[in-house]
Structure 1
Amino acid sequence: MVYDDQNIFARIIRNELPAIKIYEDDHVLAFMDIMPQAEGHTLVIPKSPAITLLDLAPEAAAYTIQIVQKVAKAMEQALEVKGIVLMQLSGAAAGQTVPHVHFHLIPSSIHELGKHALHMGDQEKIKVLAEKIKAAL
């Protein structure tokens, strides 16, 4: 499969679409999921054009997971959660809905998770949660 540079995450990386960002550097972007499975649901994406984890260069994968860990620690502190579900779906058959590799950080226990992308979240509440996480970074 050829990478589609018009996918929603590629457009967010280029600032063509809005996102509630909590972390960004030259290689990675972390932002709030607007259709969260739990309050504080965050996405971490490499800026490299890769569809799945298997398409991502090893160096980019290693750096991205370091930022995943950094953001997860900030979420744990800022949101006072006891657990974070880390999810990475590679390929449509695994449930991947956006063809750009991404990591889900979902503060909760597995028993509290709602279905992904079922309902649009309260954007103002999401922004408040984002500010708490950013402050902890």
Structure 2
Amino acid sequence: MSENDCLFCNIVAGNLPSTKVYEDDETYAFMDIAPAAVGHTVVVPKTHTKDVLEADPAVFAATAKTAQTVAKRAVEVLEADGVNVLNNCGSTAWQTVFHLHFHVIPRYTDKSKDSLTLPWVPQQGDLDAIKTVGEKLAF
């Protein structure tokens, strides 16, 4: 995908409208137009970067820093009871816009402000299998 075809690159460039929440030299944060909760914000690097796996570490760090800044602001200003900071990497992991981004989703006990539900219900796994996979991942 070229930067010209990228939805988020076009938002950053001002070719598509957005409600800006925050901007610095490296990142841009804007309101999600399909919010899961009041204050749902998307944070992107200004440079086109496909995903977490391809991101330059400095770009990733700058984007994560802005996500943290926006999350803190949501708690302070919107009085959110919590915050989810989510990233989807790859289509199997529900990434639909192939430009690195974090969803900063304020969470509220008042469900009139919050429609996000947990799709994953944690359950105890096989500890031997977990150990085996952990050993494969270890470096």
For this structure pair, what is the TM-score category when the shorter chain's length is used for normalisation?
A: 0.7 to 0.9
SS at match of 1:53: coil
- TM-score of the aligned structures, taking structure 2 as reference length: 0.75
Matches within 5 A, 1:27-66: 27-66=26-65
Q: Say if 2:93 is the partner of 1:91.
A: no
Q: Which digits, 9 at most, give the CA deviation of each residue in 1:20-52, with x for residues without a partner?
A: 001111110000001001111001001121111
- TM-score of the aligned structures, taking structure 1 as reference length: 0.77
Structure 1: which 5+ residue stretches go unaligned?
A: 116-137
**How many positions carry a matched residue from both structures?**
113
Structure 2: which 5+ residue stretches go unaligned?
A: 118-139
The match for 1:129 is: none
Higher relative contact order (CA 8 A, sep 6+): 1
RMSD over equivalenced CA pairs, Å: 1.8
Q: Distance in 2 between matches of 1:33 and 1:27?
A: 19
Structure with the bigger percentage of helix: 1
Q: Distance in 2 between matches of 1:81 and 1:10?
A: 29
Q: Which runs of 4+ in 1 moved over 2 A?
A: 109-115
Highest Rg: 1 or 2? 2
CA spacing shift, 1:26–1:76, aligned 2, 3 Å: same
- Identity over aligned pairs, percent: 39
Q: Distance in 1 between matches of 2:116 and 2:71?
A: 19
Query: Residue type matched to 1:114 in 2?
Result: L
1:4, distance to aligned residue in structure 2 (A): 2.5
Would you say the 8 A contact 2:21–2:29 is kept in 1?
yes
